[in-house]
Amino acid sequence: MTRRFCLPSLVVPMLHLGEIEYANCLPIQEPFRARWGHEYRFTAGEPRAINHLLRAGAIDCAPASSIEYARYPERYWILPGLAIGADGPARSVVLVTPVDVARLDGREVYLTPASATSVVLLKILLEHFAGVRPRYVEGIPEDVRRPHLLIGDRAMDLVHDPPPGVEVVDLGRWWKEVTDLPMVFALWLLRRHTVAHQRQECARLAARLIQIRREIDDQRLAGLAADFACPRISAERLLTYWRALSYELGDRHQAGVTRFFELAVAVGAITQAPPLELCQPPVGAARGA
């Protein structure tokens, strides 16, 4: 009888990454895919869907809603130096309202089911800063003139061409006016379980993402805008949009996240504001190649 001896597999599983299906992520996601996409698996979706997949362990890393980290900090590390935010107008996170914000008290305001951070941000701005308490309804109204939160590419369209009879309130601009801090909508989150079992691979991923972020400049954005322009959105509009966004997670951005978490506690969205725990790659694993 022949006995067979099998050596243990040395194959390291591919990291499974989440992608957000909105234009704000293209400056990071597209160059990353072009250079290293063959080394990873990908799943795309709206922010709330990506949050759920990350929490469930179906993906390892993603640009996830910043409030997702606040709700489950024990599950994640934050990738350092990388985020999606705005230090002023965000252009794709808006409140659409037919009346002045001060008159929304007691009125229905529809909340998009696609985003978690934007929902909490709107509640902070309305309840804490404007002093109004609407009646929130999840969903998107059939009539665009009813008060509602809108995010992503559809919000960009509305900012560019608002319908008559409504005001389009940019929540990034409003946040900056009342806090003088950047608003960070998404953090790149890594599951702690993945880091514990694939530390070197996670460090390599972090270094590569940071490398892409550091390479963002006007020339690269212009090329990307030309590639993704379409009849609905011109290259010029895309370039203007991306120039308004911030992909960094510097000291001011971290201060913005911390303030956002503190105010999320004040409106009952979370029970406590967690500290920001950044995942530092091990020495020698910082090269992106």
281 lies in some domain = no
User: Do residues 79 and 189 share a domain?
Assistant: yes
Residue 90 near residue 244, CB atoms below 8 Å:
yes
User: Do residues 122 and 244 share a domain?
Assistant: no
Q: Which residue among 179, 212, 229 closes a domain?
A: 179
Residue 86 exposure: Cα atoms within 13 Å on the Cβ side: 25
Distance of alpha carbon 235 from alpha carbon 223, whole angstroms: 9
CATH number at residue 77: 3.40.190.10
| pLDDT at site 12 | 63
User: Do residues 203 and 61 share a domain?
Assistant: yes
Residue 15's SS3 state is: coil
Q: Which residue among 148, 179, 210 closes a domain?
A: 179
User: Do residues 73 and 203 share a domain?
Assistant: yes
Tokens of 137: 């309804």
| pLDDT at site 151 | 94
User: Do residues 218 and 172 share a domain?
Assistant: no
- Please, which residues have CB within 8 angstroms of residue 7's CB and are 6 or more apart in sequence? none
28 lies in some domain = yes
287 lies in some domain = no
pLDDT digits (tens, 9 = 90+) for 167-206: 999 999 999 999 999 999 999 999 999 999 999 999 999 9
| pLDDT at site 11 | 55
Amino acid at 160: H
| pLDDT at site 286 | 43
Number of structural domains found in the chain: 2
Distance of alpha carbon 42 from alpha carbon 61, whole angstroms: 10
User: Do residues 139 and 21 share a domain?
Assistant: no
Residue 208 near residue 288, CB atoms below 8 Å:
yes
188 lies in some domain = yes
Q: Which residue among 179, 199, 225 closes a domain?
A: 179
pLDDT digits (tens, 9 = 90+) for 242-252: 999 999 999 99
DSSP string, 209-278: HHHHHHH--HHHHHHHHHHH--SSS-HHHHHHHHHHEE----HHHHHHHHHHHHHHHHTTS-SS-----B
- Containing 122, the helix (H) or strand (E) segment is helix 117-123
User: Do residues 125 and 192 share a domain?
Assistant: no
80 lies in some domain = yes
| pLDDT at site 285 | 44
User: Do residues 173 and 222 share a domain?
Assistant: no
31 lies in some domain = yes
Residue 93's SS3 state is: strand
- pTM here? 0.92
278 lies in some domain = no
User: Do residues 163 and 190 share a domain?
Assistant: no
Residue 228's SS3 state is: helix
User: Do residues 158 and 21 share a domain?
Assistant: no
User: Do residues 169 and 199 share a domain?
Assistant: no
> Which residues of the chain are under the pLDDT cut of 70?
1-12, 281-289
Residue 24 near residue 84, CB atoms below 8 Å:
yes
Residue 172's SS3 state is: helix
Q: Which domain holds residue 152?
A: 93-179
User: Do residues 60 and 197 share a domain?
Assistant: yes
288 lies in some domain = no
